[in-house]
Amino acid sequence: MAPVVMVAPFALGLDAGAAYVVALIIGVLLMGKGLATTTLISGRGAPQGLRISAHVDVDLGIALAAAVSALGFAVVGEMAAGGFFAVVAAVQGLLAVTTRYSARA
């Protein structure tokens, strides 16, 4: 989902320059979260990687950040950006609540 979030504002032609920045920040957080968890599970990463138990909290936090961004863009009149981040928040929230968080042995 991270590459889509980072590229979509450019592809959709959103007017707000702030939408580009917020999308890049959310995309980088999504990518970093996934990489940190994957390296810890595979055993190839540093032991300070993101624990699986914390993964759900980060997922929900990113969904909340996207929802707050959507509300902020809607308040200032950037409805396209607000709608985009509302979709991102909904998708991220659905992924967070439907994912079974467990490490494979």
Check if the beta carbon of residue 86 is closer than 8 Å to that of residue 65.
no
DSSP 8-state assignment for residue 51: P
d(CA 5, CA 48): 26
13-65 pLDDT per residue, tens = 887 688 899 999 999 999 988 777 766 655 665 556 666 777 788 889 999 99
d(CA 56, CA 51): 10
Check if the beta carbon of residue 55 is closer than 8 Å to that of residue 37.
yes
Q: Which pLDDT belongs to residue 73?
A: 94
65-95 pLDDT per residue, tens = 999 999 999 999 989 999 999 999 999 999 8
Q: Which pLDDT belongs to residue 104?
A: 58
| Tokens matching residue 76 | 């200032």
